[in-house]
Structures are given as structure tokens and as C-alpha cells.
Amino acid sequence: MSSTYGENLKLSIFGQSHGAAIGMTLDGIPAGLPVDTDALQIFLNRRAPGQNDWSTPRKEADRPEFLSGILDGFTCGAPIAAAIYNKNTRSGDYANLKDCPRPGHADLTAQIKYGGFQDAAGGGHFSGRLTAPLCIAGGLCKQWLEGMGIQVFAHIAAIAGISDTPFDPLAPDMDSIQPDFPVIKPDAGAQMRDAISAAKGDGDSVGGILETAVLGLPAGVGEPFFDSVESVLSHLLFSGVESRIAQIVYGVPAVKGVEFGAGFSAANLRGSQNNDDYVISDGQIRTVTNNAGGILGGITTGMPLIFRAALKPTPSISRPQQSVSLSSGEMQELVIKGRHDPCIVPRAVPVIEAAAAIAIFDMILGNTQTGGNRKWI
């Protein structure tokens, strides 16, 4: 399995949903960067399960134990290693999945690729549980970016077709996001929660869209073609085959879709409508609009970086579904047991923030501009 990301930093994620622990190692981080573990825990709590009606009832504290790389509140130059020990597992709920794969999950493809040796309990290494160690790394990167004046934040743009107010592409406002349910428009949030409750009552699930903004990112970060900002961000947000396809498609100049700036709607515009005219503002070159989403030629423009990620409905639903028995080769009805989110979108907000922060920090570590290296840290 490939569970490593990064060009200048190296992030590796390990563990299985119902194993002893999950965790991460983060290598290539300079010594002397401050680490606020209290702020990190607050960030991790935004993703932690079992906190509300739209989350899985599985309760995990998700308190990381740092094993190396941090000394007296600062990075020490050694690889950062952290583990979260799983406490509330019910592996017996998944005993039949190697024979009867769940529609929409990786059970069948994992069985084919790993020949039955994979851990199926709770989805094993394919589980969304593995986004917790991603958030450890991303939460640290967010802190270090904030130290450079760079903010990464997201809100729920839509759930079940119910839309929130989008970010202002020229001046997205982190303070406009509601603290308990991350939307800008409270009425939209209430409707989204009702839709989640309705789906849960039907034994079903719903998906949605997250919109992320990066503020304070200077112009000149990124590379053209295969190491463009879009390519690097998409590489981390997607997984497996989708990751490889997305990286190379963005390079020629989950998450099931990612769009930057105007995204797909740009296909309906004329060039005169889509182009962002330049202006001088406070002595800096800015743009009148931001259809590019803060990126041109794979390189940041200095405008807010805006992207949206589409998340599919949770595939684990309690309604009967059609599957097959791999041992008998016959059709079989499947009723999934276990504890699952009727909508993963609210808990995914910090996950997407984490992914974006890791990607941005990785690019800043290796950023070069004409005339030599430009140091940010």
C-alpha cells in the first residue's frame, strides 16, 4: 500500500480502523518550529467521532501521543511521529465483509488486490478513520502557516443539494463561518441538518461540497505542469487511481471531484468574462475578479486561493443492498452493521483544511523563484 505523500516533507500514515493504533510520521520538517499541542487538540476535536447526531456513534478521544520529533514545544529536526490508540472498536460487525463486499466501499477491490490478507474490520486501512492522523500533520502545518500569515479555512458549501452562501472570492472571511456547524448562512445549516436527519431516518446517507480558502499566500508558489498548485492539492485530496489521474490531468495544463476558482462553470463563460483583469491596489498587482481561484499557470497569483471538493454520500448505509457472495458466486442481500456517519461532510471540513495545509506547506518548503531560493521559514 502507498500511504506516503510529499516532495519536500514526507508524510506517512499508518494503522487500520480497528487496529491497536493509527498514526503518522512527518519527516523533512525544519527544527525550531513552535508546536501548540492544545491548539492541535482543538483542531482534532473538530473531526473526532461521536459528538453529535450527524456523526457516527463511535466515540474516540483522538488524543495523539507524540513519540519523536518534538522537544520542549518545538520541532527538533527529527521525524515527527505520533499515534492515536483506538479504544472503541467492534470488529465483529465486519466479519462477513471479505465474503460479501459492501457497495461503494473498497472491500471488493481490496480483496482482489491483496488476496484476502487485508484487514476488513471497519474498512481497515481504507477507512475514514485514517483521516485523524492526516489531521495531526495538517493541524501542525496549519500552525506553521499561520506563523507566516497564511490562513487555511473551509465551510460546507452544500449538503444534499442545499447550498450555503459561497465565499467572496476576493475576500473570503473566516469569521463569517458559524462555529458549531461550519456554514456561513445559519438557515442553510439548519436545512442541511434536517436533510441529514431525514436520510438517517431512512437508513440512508447524503453527500456534499466543501469550499476551502487560503489567505495570505504570496504570489509565486508552485510550478508549471506536473507540480502545479492544482496538481499538488488534488494529489492529496484524491486517493489511489484517482490521485494519479488527477495529478497528470491537472499537470497538462474526494473526494470525487475538485474544482479551483470558477471551476466547471468557467466552461460556460467567454474569455472576456472569465479573464481576471489586473489593477494596482495599495501598490500591488491584484485582480478585479478571481475566476482563476488564485492560480495561473500552476503558480499562485497572490489572490485568495479558492477550491471546492465534492464528497460522495457515506457508502455504509443500513438499508438492504444488493451484493454477492465471493465464496458461492451467488447474489446476496447485504445489511451493513456497524456505526457510520449519515453524512461525512461536516467532519470532513478539518480534513480538507489539513490536506490543503500539508500541500501548501510542502510547496513552500521547496518553493523556488527566478533569482534563487526564496525562504519562507
pLDDT digits (tens, 9 = 90+) for 258-281: 899 999 999 999 999 999 999 999
pLDDT digits (tens, 9 = 90+) for 282-336: 999 999 999 999 999 888 999 999 999 999 999 889 899 999 998 899 999 888 8
SS3 (DSSP) at 376? coil
pTM given for the model: 0.90
Paired strand residues for 283: none
Under DSSP, the state recorded for 34 is: B
Look at 36 and 7; give whichever has higher pLDDT. Answer: 36
Q: Which domain holds residue 155?
A: 4-373
pLDDT at position 17 over 80:
no
Whole-number Å distance between alpha carbons of 41 and 25: 17
Per-residue pLDDT band at 246 (split at 50, 70, 90) = low
Alpha helical stretches, state H, the chain: 37-47, 107-114, 131-147, 186-201, 229-237, 240-251, 271-274, 345-365
Q: Let me know: does 35 contact 82? Beta carbons within 8 Å.
A: no
> What region does 148 belong to: left with phi over 0, alpha with psi -120 to 50, or beta?
alpha
pLDDT digits (tens, 9 = 90+) for 125-136: 777 888 999 999
| % the chain with pLDDT above 90 | 59
Under DSSP, the state recorded for 45 is: H
Number of domains in the chain: 1
pLDDT at position 123 over 90:
no
The enclosing domain of 354 has a CATH number of: 3.60.150.10
